Amino acid sequence: MTLDSTDLFGAVIDRRVVPVLVPMPAAKAYSYVVPDGMAVEPGSIVQVPLGPRLVVGVVWDGADDGMVDPRKLKQIEKVFDCPPLTGDMRAFLDWVAAYTVTPPGLVARMALRAPAAFDPEPMVEALRLTDMRPERMTSARERVIAAASDGFSWTRSGLAHAAGVSSSVVDGLTAQGVFETVFMPPPPVVALPDPDFAAPRLEGAQKDAAADLLAAVEERRFSVSLIDGITGSGKTEVYFEAIAATLRAGKQVLILLPEIALTASFLERFQDRFGSKPAEWHSDLAPRTREKVWRQVTTGQVRVVAGARSALFLPFEDLGLIIVDEEHDPAYKQEDRVFYNARDMAVVRGRISNFPVVLVSATPSVESRVNGEMGRYRPIHLPTRFGDAALPHLGVVDMRRHPPERGGFLSPVLLDQVGKAIGRGEQALLFLNRRGYAPLTLCRVCGHRFQCPDCSSWLVEHRFRGQIQCHHCGYSERTPEACPECGTLDHLVACGPGVERIAEEVERHFPEARTIVLSSDLMGVKRLRLELEAIARGEADIVIGTQLVAKGHNFPMMTLVGIVDADLGLANGDPRAAERTFQLLSQVTGRAGRTGLKSLGLLQTYQPQHPVMQAIVSGDSDAFYEREINERERAALPPFGRLASIIVSADSRNDAEGHARGLRMAAPRVDGIAILGPAEAPLALIRGRHRFRLLVHGRRNSDMQAFVKAMIAGGPKERGSISVQLDIDPQSFL
């Protein structure tokens, strides 16, 4: 808008005022004055003064509402030389903000997560051969000149490397005028992918699925396809064809992967098909690389990004396809600051920009499955494995009939199969989704249980490190020798298994075997990649791992997978517990049987009749899904209702339950409230108090939105120790 104002000489001048989203939890955009001679438009990325500092903001849509005292208005400091956020991108950010009940500035900030990328990358210094030649020629100098004779410009170190000399040789030649310094645009972070580099010949079901998918993708408008295919059925090859088609049409592609830091093998497969790697985007990127990728995505130099959920907020120049691989994976949910599920927001982004979205999973989420059945998503089935990849034979071990020996956790049945597998020179994987040695430690004399002083959950013993740790808030201390309650020495007893304890049991039974424990707390991402490669080369016999062994790495010699405790995670109150267990166990057992060798998966369970076990063992999941869908529909859970979670911070569980009852009274249209233990509260929210999570579900969007907004507005003050944070699970928004 234009404001009338008066200058020093009493003349009326125009001040142009625009809304600017600043990275702050304000309900709406702030107003800033555009200085004379500055050109801004909606989407422009700008630097503005905010309180005592300068921040990055985005000029937003609409006119300024003139509600702020004109004397308070400050000027935009500068406009970055960078493509403005497109109208689609702004509409997307607005939508996410409204849907997740998050201040728009915080959502916009996710699109600007690249410290210094907003100005163009500086040109790089390069050397180009001139007509001058050195007075004295040496063989090193000849090699340098020969290498540089291709007519192109070279970087100093690149040229030295290419000629096999040290850079001082190049410097000497430069000093004599043989090279002149020129500036060239910075090199791309990745080479351009070639859609025709190694197009595979697809057969049978894969060919049909690819044709089906291409029909949807080549319409070049919004649709959601759900590729549902068992492990090893060739889902990746199929969606690579959709990527190729999109690249040929000149559009950019985004591939979302859960935990991309662990998926080196995916990048290689992509390179084999397209001749170059996609640009990566995840939290472990080096800041310089991050800036380059951000910049080159906005300018369109990067054509394909493979990224974690945050990549969804990259401001692509011209995005034309999103693939969400392993769409059921809980890692797509962000549970701090802005609460969102990247899978669902990907669908929204496709709808807003009118391009196709492809969801992929061997074990689709119940939501996606229902959306497929209702015709909102287009189901594409890949029912069979191809090549020599036989399915593993899967079975349960009924732990009531085959109990482990005293103090152990592995049944004789499983131990026998481990012995046989390593006896044949093959590998065995034992999966237990529990880090550390034991989940609970107590004193045999007085019954004292080690509990976290900050958040009330049990402290987990980590024997390799000699520590007891809280897995929820990060608290840790050295494992004491004496009971802190009664002072008795050496009477602490570990209850229940963790991977470290399983490793101990394995080593007792197979002292000769090479055993390795893979657990996220024992190694960083880099170290883990190396270990995974070593295992794939056959440098271990028995691998004992937590959840991270489930993610996209293939071990050709792995012919036995043992699930140490298939029941773990079934009884924690989460309405998605069974679904999650089914998905996780399918993924882990899918690690076996990718070779031509006969392979076996065994699930140790006390509930062999449980629908999850039945679905896994039979390989027929339809009955399981049907049951879950009916249950969800009855309880008004997604996708039939809406699910929000509220973190209640209270001094005791009793208080939390009291608050829950209070909330229920306050929200008559909410269908159900479940209280989950401290383990269910997201890590980021725990700050030294007892925290519980309430899962609240209701049938109608508007009811839940109203409820959640009221909770935020009512906030901690009026409700004593309740603090509200939410996590809204999307349902249908199509």
Task: Count the alpha carbons within 13 Å of 544 in the hemisphere toward its beta carbon.
Answer: 26
Cα angle, residue 233 at apex, residues 229 and 236 outer, rounded to 5°: 85
Give the CA diameter of the chain. 96
* Shortest distance in whole angstroms from residue 50 CB to DNA: 4
The yes or no reply on residue 60 touching DNA (CB under 7 A) is: no
Q: Strand 542-545 relative to strand 427-431: parallel, antiparallel, unpaired?
A: parallel
C-alpha separations of 116 from 47, 244, 330, 374 in Å: 12, 32, 31, 45
Closer to DNA by Cβ: residue 24 or 525: 24
How far, in whole angstroms, is CA 37 from its chain's centroid? 43
Tell whether 495 is in a known binding site.
Answer: no
Among 1, 62, 63, 74, binds DNA (CB under 7 A): 74
Q: What share of the chain is helix, strand, coil (3-state, %, to 5)?
A: 35, 25, 40
Closest CA to 696 of 659, 664, 732: 664
Total residues at interface with DNA (CB under 7 A): 18
Closer to DNA by Cβ: residue 68 or 215: 68
Question: How far is residue 671's CA from residue 336's CA, in Å, rounded to a whole number?
Answer: 25
* Shortest distance in whole angstroms from residue 81 CB to DNA: 23
The yes or no reply on residue 24 touching DNA (CB under 7 A) is: yes
The yes or no reply on residue 53 touching DNA (CB under 7 A) is: yes
Task: Count the alpha carbons within 13 Å of 638 in the hemisphere toward its beta carbon.
Answer: 27
The yes or no reply on residue 72 touching DNA (CB under 7 A) is: yes
Per-residue x/- mask for DNA, residues 80 to 99, rule CB under 7 A? Answer: --------------------
Question: How far is residue 410's CA from residue 424's CA, in Å, rounded to a whole number?
Answer: 20
**Direct distance between the N- and C-terminal alpha carbons of the chain, in angstroms, rounded to an integer:** 35
Q: Name residues contacting DNA, limited to 31-50 (CB under 7 A).
A: 31-32, 49-50
* Shortest distance in whole angstroms from residue 112 CB to DNA: 12
Among 10, 37, 52, 466, binds DNA (CB under 7 A): 52
The yes or no reply on residue 101 touching DNA (CB under 7 A) is: no
Tell whether 82 is in a known binding site.
Answer: no
Q: Strand 440-443 relative to strand 558-563: parallel, antiparallel, unpaired?
A: unpaired
Q: What is the dihedral of CA 90, 93, 94, 97, to 10 degrees?
A: -170
Q: Strand 223-229 relative to strand 515-518: parallel, antiparallel, unpaired?
A: unpaired
Closest CA to 279 of 254, 313, 258: 254
Question: How far is residue 427's CA from residue 716's CA, in Å, rounded to a whole number?
Answer: 53
- Other CB atoms within a 10 A radius of the CB of residue 466 amount to 9
Closer to DNA by Cβ: residue 25 or 487: 25
* Shortest distance in whole angstroms from residue 299 CB to DNA: 27
Question: How far is residue 280's CA from residue 590's CA, in Å, rounded to a whole number?
Answer: 26
Closer to DNA by Cβ: residue 24 or 577: 24
* Shortest distance in whole angstroms from residue 173 CB to DNA: 47
C-alpha separations of 189 from 183, 185, 295 in Å: 18, 12, 10
Closer to DNA by Cβ: residue 65 or 180: 65
DSSP 8-state symbol, 507: H
**Residue 28, token pair as written in the block:** 């709406």
Which region among 23-31, 82-90, 222-230, 260-268 touches DNA (by CB under 7 A)?
23-31
Closer to DNA by Cβ: residue 102 or 361: 102
* Shortest distance in whole angstroms from residue 36 CB to DNA: 16
Among 63, 68, 191, 211, binds DNA (CB under 7 A): 68
Q: Name residues contacting DNA, limited to 427-446 (CB under 7 A).
A: none
DSSP assignment of 201-267: ---HHHHHHHHHHHHHHTTTS-EEEEEEE-TTS-HHHHHHHHHHHHHHTT-EEEEE-TTGGG-HHHH
* Shortest distance in whole angstroms from residue 105 CB to DNA: 9
Among 40, 106, 557, 578, binds DNA (CB under 7 A): 106
Which region among 22-30, 220-228, 384-392, 428-436 touches DNA (by CB under 7 A)?
22-30
Tell whether 446 is in a known binding site.
Answer: yes
* Shortest distance in whole angstroms from residue 35 CB to DNA: 12
* Shortest distance in whole angstroms from residue 336 CB to DNA: 9
Closer to DNA by Cβ: residue 76 or 600: 76
Its sign, for the CA torsion 537, 259, 501, 398, is negative
Bond prior to 379 in cis (omega within 30° of 0)? no
The yes or no reply on residue 51 touching DNA (CB under 7 A) is: yes
Among 18, 21, 30, 590, binds DNA (CB under 7 A): 30
The yes or no reply on residue 3 touching DNA (CB under 7 A) is: no
* Shortest distance in whole angstroms from residue 170 CB to DNA: 43
- H/E segment holding residue 729: strand 722-729
* Shortest distance in whole angstroms from residue 718 CB to DNA: 13
Three-class DSSP labels, 673-714: EEEECHHHCCHHHCCCCCEEEEEEEECCHHHHHHHHHHHHHH
* Shortest distance in whole angstroms from residue 556 CB to DNA: 45
Closer to DNA by Cβ: residue 52 or 668: 52
* Shortest distance in whole angstroms from residue 72 CB to DNA: 5
Closer to DNA by Cβ: residue 52 or 466: 52
DSSP assignment of 648-659: EE-SSHHHHHHH
The yes or no reply on residue 718 touching DNA (CB under 7 A) is: no
Closer to DNA by Cβ: residue 60 or 625: 60
Q: Name residues contacting DNA, limited to 334-353 (CB under 7 A).
A: 337
* Shortest distance in whole angstroms from residue 219 CB to DNA: 41
Closer to DNA by Cβ: residue 59 or 257: 59
Closer to DNA by Cβ: residue 268 or 651: 651
Closer to DNA by Cβ: residue 59 or 584: 59
Which region among 72-80, 189-197, 208-216, 500-508 touches DNA (by CB under 7 A)?
72-80
Helical H runs in 510-576? 525-536
**Residue 444, token pair as written in the block:** 């045999």
Among 5, 38, 47, 73, binds DNA (CB under 7 A): 73
The yes or no reply on residue 25 touching DNA (CB under 7 A) is: yes
C-alpha separations of 52 from 25, 437, 450 in Å: 17, 49, 46
* Shortest distance in whole angstroms from residue 716 CB to DNA: 8
Which region among 29-37, 220-228, 387-395, 689-697 touches DNA (by CB under 7 A)?
29-37
Among 26, 184, 597, 679, binds DNA (CB under 7 A): 26
Closer to DNA by Cβ: residue 338 or 430: 338
Which region among 19-27, 92-100, 111-119, 314-322 touches DNA (by CB under 7 A)?
19-27
What type of residue is 469?
A: Q
DSSP assignment of 125-173: EEEEE-S---SS--HHHHHHHHHHTTS--B-HHHHHHHHTS-HHHHHHH
Cβ atoms 468, 460 nearer than 8 A: yes
Query: Annotated binding residues for Zn(2+), as ranges?
Result: 443, 446, 452, 455, 470, 473, 483, 486
Query: Annotated binding residues, as ranges?
Result: 443, 446, 452, 455, 470, 473, 483, 486
The contact set with DNA (CB under 7 A) reads 23-26, 30-32, 49-53, 68, 72-74, 106, 337
